[in-house]
Amino acid sequence: MVSAPSSSSAPASASGSQGSHGLHLPDSARELVKILVTGPFGVGKTTLIDSVSEIRPLHTEEQLTEASVSVDNLAGVRDKTTTTVAIDFGRISLNGGIVLYLFGTPGQERFRALWGDISYGALGALVLVDTRRIDDSFEVLGLVEESGLPYAVALNTFPDSQQYTDEQLRTSLDLEPDTPMVTCDARDPHASVDALLALVQHLIARDGQSPESN
């Protein structure tokens, strides 16, 4: 975290003052925590983050270097391709000096290299699922499970979504019995907060189960 003293001609900045580019962190900020918001392409990750974020949408650009085998290269030498992926993120300042960052993390298999870094230190992941295309969720569920991050599932429903029972969905997604699954309209801040709360309550319950300390 970086801070600057205010210029001598201006009054001292109040905490959370709005600079011309967006909100600064409150002076009370003490602890930064991170939750990943993930799911298949177009499921509503950025929508959810925007619905709760106190800052305007920002993104960080991550470089991914992947080895690829060029079909034209008869020697079979591996070329490298570098792609840039934009990670949208948002921020919520909570009571007690905690600042929560939400990182929209792409769930496609080709972004696998990203997950090692981006999942480091994350409390957990909220996996958004579109019930109209459940098959698209398997990639991201695989990545989340491999990362070892605890997660909760939020079903982003659309007008043409088919009605499934919870049991049908849990079976289709092959969820563990204790993995929370909630319905969430990603545009609705209350629903988005509820989904995050379901995740955090799950983290608390899991923490309570294993007695070893860090």
Q: Are 103 and 125 in contact (CB under 8 A)?
A: no
Backbone angles phi, psi at 196, to 5 degrees: -65, -40
Closest to 63 (Cα-Cα) out of 42, 37, 87: 87
Under the binding rule (CB under 8 A), the answer on residue 207 touching other proteins is yes
Binding residue for other proteins, selected from 74, 77, 96, 159, defined by CB under 8 A: 96
Q: How far is the CB of 142 from other proteins (least distance, A)?
A: 23
Closest to 23 (Cα-Cα) out of 15, 33, 35: 15
Cα–Cα distance between 22 and 60 in angstroms, integer? 16
Binding to other proteins (CB under 8 A): which residues in 11-50?
A: 12-13, 15-17, 19-22, 24-25, 27, 29-33
Under the binding rule (CB under 8 A), the answer on residue 190 touching other proteins is yes
Question: Over 131-181, what HEC string results?
Answer: HHHHHHHHHHHHHHHHHCCCEEEEEECCCCCCCCCHHHHHHHHCCCCCCCE
Q: How many residues bind other proteins (CB under 8 A)?
A: 58
Helix (H) or strand (E) holding 118: helix 112-118
Q: 């599932």: which residue's tokens?
A: 153
Binding residue for other proteins, selected from 52, 126, 173, 175, defined by CB under 8 A: 52
Q: How far is the CB of 109 from other proteins (least distance, A)?
A: 25
Q: How far is the CB of 56 from other proteins (least distance, A)?
A: 10
Under the binding rule (CB under 8 A), the answer on residue 178 touching other proteins is no
| DSSP, res 26 | P
Binding residue for other proteins, selected from 82, 165, 209, 213, defined by CB under 8 A: 213
Q: How far is the CB of 164 from other proteins (least distance, A)?
A: 27
What is the binding site for other proteins (CB under 8 A)? 1-7, 10, 12-13, 15-17, 19-22, 24-25, 27, 29-33, 52, 55, 58-61, 89, 91-92, 94-96, 98, 100-101, 120-121, 123, 189-190, 193-194, 196-197, 200-201, 203-204, 207-208, 212-214
